[in-house]
Chains A and B, each alone.
Chain A
Amino acid sequence: MKAHIDHIVICFLVVLLSNNFFAQNENIRNAINAYQQQDFESALKYINLAEQHEQTVKNPSTLYYKGIILKELYNLNSSDVNSDYRTQSIDYYQRFLEKNEDEKLKASVMKSLDYLSKTIYNDAAKTLNKENYQTSRTLFNQYKTLCEKYELSSQLNSIELQYKLVLGQVYSELYEQHRENTKGNKFFEEVIETYQSILKVDSMNWSANYNLGIHYYNEAVDKIKVAEYDLDIVAVGLIQDESVALFQKALPYMQRAYELKPNRKEPIIGLSGIYYSLNDIEKSESFNEKVKQLEGK
């Protein structure tokens, strides 16, 4: 009698578990159907149900499907640079890659990650301005991390240099805007740090050399330019010291920019100004002559 009862219990459990298992597969099926009909909200709801269950959560394809559904939800509102759907999609894809062994699926996910990384880069580029530079930096770092982790771009280094050159200009504009207030110093240093980081990788980068030279040069000029006429004589000596130190800092960068592109007028004008301000009138004049030659005068 007892054996008969046990058998009934086991049969009942098997039926119960089987129903549950099929219910979970049903959730995935429903998610796929909703996805095919481009009803991504419903697809998400079903895949969330599947994800909550022990049997399907262990299945890497649940992560794969969820990544794809989230990506489509992101695509519906891709103008949102802070999209949670995109962040989550990437997260699910990454978790999938950790568990998956199917090369075909892996290739598909890598393409999606590549696509999403490019959307992040593009948003970083779009927000690279005075108002949104912090968002831009965060996005660019996300892009960089993804590229490095999955080797998504063979041109990451040059892309990063290009990004930083523009970032340096944004900081430069922010410095001009805030030079009179407490934020000024921070942006002054950010400009230097940004261009220095480029030169660390590519010391022959013309734009970074020139822009850093100009940054120091303009600051040196402004120190004197804004000085009040009743400045005490001791203070006159001090601001002159500061100004000369900045001109001296500008010099090697401007010199390198000139050496890299000897026919570009801007560094020659810059060098003429620097030497004049450092009271080396002879050298300043020689660069003035070079400008005239370039202008065909």
Chain B
Amino acid sequence: MQRVFQHRVARFFYIIIYLVLNTSVAPKYDVNAKIKALYMYNFAKYIEWPSSYKTGDFVIGVVGETPVYQNLQAMAKVKKVFNQSIKIVKYSSASEVQKCHMLLLPTAMTSKVSECSSKIKASSTLLVTEKPGVGTRSGINFVVVNQKQKFELNKGNISSHNLTVSGNLLKLAIVI
């Protein structure tokens, strides 16, 4: 009688769970470029330009190629510096540099720092560089401290361009 009940068990196999490699790596994204752009927007807010620079577009010049450029372009589309629209201008060489509020000199173009300084000597332009040791020759210089983007601020160089730095910015900067 018991045999009737026995072994009505079909062969049964485990369903194989297919493991798919988690390939959802974020597309290569330059976090450092975005952080620099975020800081640069804050430089525009925490530094005061002379009244003659407070009309028209707020011009940010970029010399040569840098991933920061794309971020600045994206920023310019959605943000203003107070009432001024932001305009990003790319210069392929230092000789092309014209009047602007901020001038970014990427690492690869650091050798052009003297030429750029000469071009902006008479204007209220904040020169932003991004190479260790160049802070003495620019207004703000991005540096890496403990794996993070920080910035050196050369108060003398900035004042010489008739720019006024807010105390809040000074507090966060490495003042040189």
A residues near B (Cβ < 8 Å) are 32, 35-36, 61, 64-65, 68, 72, 104-105, 108, 111-112, 114-115, 118-119, 121-122, 125-126, 128, 159, 162-163, 165-166, 169, 172, 176, 207, 210-211, 214-215, 217-218, 220-222, 224-225, 227, 229-234, 236-237, 240-241, 243-244, 247-248, 266, 269-270, 273, 276-280
Complex Cα spacing A280 to B146, Å: 10
- B52 within 8 Å of A by Cβ? no
Residue of A nearest to B145 (CB): A279
B residues near A (Cβ < 8 Å) are 1-2, 4-10, 12-26, 28-32, 34-35, 37-39, 41-42, 45-46, 74-75, 78-79, 144, 147-149, 168-169, 172
Q: Would B2 and A105 count as touching, CB distance under 8 A?
A: yes
Q: Which residues of A contact B46 (CB under 8 A)?
A: 233
Q: Would A241 and B148 count as touching, CB distance under 8 A?
A: yes
B25's partner among A61, A128, A269, A278 (CB-CB below 8 A) is A269
Complex Cα spacing A147 to B169, Å: 63
Q: Would A233 and B12 count as touching, CB distance under 8 A?
A: no
Shortest C-beta distance, B127 to chain A (Å), equals: 19
Q: Would B38 and A279 count as touching, CB distance under 8 A?
A: no
Complex Cα spacing A40 to B15, Å: 28
Q: Would B19 and A122 count as touching, CB distance under 8 A?
A: no
B31's partner among A233, A266, A277 (CB-CB below 8 A) is A277
Q: Would A224 and B31 count as touching, CB distance under 8 A?
A: yes
Q: Would B14 and A118 count as touching, CB distance under 8 A?
A: yes
Q: Which residues of A contact B16 (CB under 8 A)?
A: 125
Shortest C-beta distance, B118 to chain A (Å), equals: 29
Q: Which residues of B contact A121 (CB under 8 A)?
A: 14-15
